[in-house]
Amino acid sequence: MRYILVLALVILGGCTDANEPGGMQRDGLQGQGGVRPVDSTPLVLPTLEGLERREALNEPTATPTPTPLVPDVPEPTAPAAAEQHTIPSPPPEPVPPPVPGAATLVHDIQLTIYSCLGDSTGAYCPEGQAMFCGQQVYRGAAACGWQWECGQQFRIVGDPLGMVYTCEDRGGSVTGIDVWFYDYHDPATQAWRNAMDGYVTVELIQ
């Protein structure tokens, strides 16, 4: 294609006839017989390099597609495992062995008394019939509710005598403790009874 363009330019620009004297160029219109002087300006033909340069200037330059910049993201690293501090568990506290004679408190126990003298039946005397658990009445014996077994010993909190009593008897209406005294009307018996409340705290002796 470049060579065809060069040839076309040469034809259009005309050429000098070497056979005519005076260096005159014939007019392209042969019928008119006229001639015109040859232009003294030298004809400069375009070179191949110039044509290539011109084509390069006329061709649109392709704009390169910009490459998006991706920031360097550091790879996540696994967090270091936290140091685990093992707290030693305290040694178990030793369980103390049961102490012989240890007491258990029982609250709100109804307190009554019964006796040999002053009772109309006369059945609660030493020479009378045995108590429910098989013993004859004695000082310190008591009739107890069915929640306590025969032979259960106890103290009464606040007892001015400070005695230890034993469950030896039962009673049809006894739900708490019914302490035996020989004479119901004895001043000592009445003083004891008046010093005690109707409901007391009992200290069971194991």
Please tell me the distance from the alpha carbon of residue 112 to that of residue 185, in angstroms, as a whole number. 14
Rg, C-alpha atoms of the chain: 70
Residue 182: what pLDDT? 93
* Dihedral pair phi/psi, residue 37, rounded to 5°: -65, 150
103-205: CATH architecture: Beta Barrel (2.40)
> Would you list the domain boundaries of the chain?
103-205
Look up residue 30 and give its DSSP letter: G
Low-confidence ranges of the chain (pLDDT < 70): 1-64, 66-74, 76-103, 120-122
Please tell me the distance from the alpha carbon of residue 197 to that of residue 59, in angstroms, as a whole number. 125
Q: How many CB atoms lie within 10 A of CB 23?
A: 11
Closest CA to 153 of 133, 125, 181: 133
Please tell me the distance from the alpha carbon of residue 153 to that of residue 103, in angstroms, as a whole number. 10
Please tell me the distance from the alpha carbon of residue 55 to that of residue 5, in angstroms, as a whole number. 12
pTM of the model: 0.50
Tokens of 107: 């609250």
